[in-house]
Chains A and B, each alone.
Chain A
Amino acid sequence: MIYSTELIKGTLKTIILKLLVDNKRMYGYEITQKVKELTLDKIKITEGALYPTLHALEADGLVTTKTEYIGKRVRKYYSLSQAGKVKSKEKISELSNFIGTMISLLEIKPKSA
């Protein structure tokens, strides 16, 4: 089952920031593959959503970029800035609280082992 974009909407920045916390530096394609791998293909980040968001994070000073030439083409590696490290903690905490609230709102019982 692939989650609808409506559900993913609003969480993309947090997903990217969290991946950068765990992986130090990543490039766009790597981010999409990592999300697919970690979510067992349930979340697919589209290129049309990923790159605008990465540019916005860069403009906000939350990520920094470093370019490397792979032959004739350029690969941009993204890593967290100091402000990005602080922001990622805030965003992860906010999303975690939100998920907790949704669980209690929808009366979802945790699965017993």
Chain B
Amino acid sequence: MYCISDQQIDFIVQDISKHGICTESLKQNLVDHICIIIEENLEENGDFRLFYEATIKTFYTEELREIEEQTSYLLHVQGPHWLLGRNQFFLLLFILFIGPFIAYDIAWMFNSRQYSGFSLPAEIWESTTVFALFPFLVLFVLFLTPDSLDPLIPKRSRILIGIKPFIKIIPPDKTPRLV
């Protein structure tokens, strides 16, 4: 059975910190886990570095920080929440910001149908169009900004809406996996 030294523990701590593990208790968990695997499987005169590097690779799919991100996601999402796709999120924003203006026009048509039928006078639709134009343009720009320009909501990202946090944009490479 291999006996791991204090210097080697320090090395593991530094290495996993360097690779994105910053939550202290998660770091403690992983260090202990790695140490046990090394102690149980490495021969007494085995190569610690080589064995460590091979072991740590089995902990993740692409990068070690996936574990930190997954932990952070599970810790920060409390209560019921929705995880929306980008298009669904923009549709929701469109309904929230443009919907009231469209609803006003429709309501106006219904209320005045006995006087003017189902037509909408220019002064009504023109004013609602003016008010709806700015939010529409903002949404349009946000939606069409290419990923190369570091947009607020990148393509393939997911948007989490809940109680705490109220809203969070999860970039595509950080979309949580549950197992």
A binding-site residues for B, Cβ under 8 Å: 5, 8-10, 12, 27-29, 46-49, 51-56, 59, 65, 67, 70-76
Contact = CB atoms under 8 A, between A and B. Distances in A.
A50 B109 CA distance: 58
B148 interface: no
Contact of B31 (A5, A46, A59, A73): A73
Contacts of B66: 48
A59 B75 CA distance: 7
Interface string B26-42: 10111111011100000
Interface of B: 6, 9-10, 23, 25-26, 28-33, 35-37, 58-61, 66-67, 70-71, 73-75, 78, 177-179
Nearest to A55: B71
B179 A5 contact: yes
Contacts of B177: 49
A70 B6 CA distance: 11
A70 B31 CA distance: 11
Nearest to A53: B74
A12 B179 contact: yes
Most buried by A among B31, B66, B67: B67
14 contacts: A10-B179, A12-B178, A47-B33, A47-B58, A47-B59, A48-B59, A48-B61, A49-B179, A51-B26, A51-B71, A55-B75, A72-B9, A73-B9, A75-B28
Contacts of A54: 29
